Copies of this chain bind each other. A is one copy, B any other.
Amino acid sequence: MSKITVLGTGIVGDTIGSKLIELGHSVAMGSRTINNEKALAFVAKHNGKAIEGTFADAAAYGEIIFNCTKGSGSIDALKMAGDNNLKDKIIVDISNPLDFSKGMPPFLTISNTNSLGEEIQKAFPTAKVVKTLNTMNCGLMVHPDSLNNGDHDTFICGNDANAKDKVIEILKSIGWSDKHIIDLGDITAARGTEMYLALWVRVLGSINTGNFNIKIVR
């Protein structure tokens, strides 16, 4: 079992962090400030298995870092976490660079010839950024079996093969089967999974539920 950092106190951080604890890991939840109300609630409900603190406190604790912050604030949050606390660690990036400031559906702040995954990798070159799970809502991320007996797919990409293997192990422990984890290659493939969000938000608007995912039918 690992010591894992979850950056972000929103529903994504809470959901991912809770699942990791259920699997036996211990979790440090990081936030902009110490004693964040939601982080304290997270610690309280996971009696003894979770701690909380600043982004830097939490990042110093974990061996693996889950970036569950909003994409628009991810680079800032990771900078607050600190180079030294991220050095050589796996950053599992499940965020999307969505901008809701012009209303729904959102657009992307980075896309096409760049991606947030790549920007994070460039900003923290010794870290091993692995992008995954960003193509669905957080309930499905941690309960793939809840939809169509798990017969739908997630993607993974990143520059470091060992880091991807470690993240795949975590995905499998969550309930993702090997055949539903599609390796798209290096971190530039984050362009693909992030740009898919432009379709995701419109499918959401069409079918009126976020409880869906795609399956690659071949």
Contacts and interface: CB of A to CB of B under 8 A. Distances in A.
A47 interface: no
- The 8 lowest CB-CB distance pairs between A and B, nearest first, are A192-B199, A195-B198, A192-B202, A212-B218, A152-B217, A195-B195, A214-B214, A196-B199
Contacts of A202: 157, 184-185, 189, 191-192
Interface string A110-140: 0111000000000000000000000000000
A216 B203 contact: yes
Interface string A182-218: 1111000101110110111111011101011111111
Interface of A is mostly: mixed
Nearest to A183: B206
Contacts of A217: 147-148, 151-152, 212-215
24 contacts: A107-B112, A107-B113, A111-B112, A111-B198, A151-B217, A152-B217, A157-B202, A182-B207, A184-B202, A184-B203, A184-B205, A185-B202, A192-B198, A192-B199, A192-B202, A193-B199, A196-B199, A203-B216, A207-B216, A209-B218, A211-B218, A212-B218, A213-B216, A215-B217
A40 interface: no
Given A111-B111, A206-B185, A147 B218 contact: yes
A216 to B, nearest CB: 5
A108 interface: yes
Q: Count the copies.
A: 2
Most chain B beta-carbon contacts within 10 A, residue among A211, A213, A216: A216
Interface in A156-195: 157, 182-185, 189, 191-193, 195
A211 B203 CA distance: 22
Contacts of A191: 198, 202
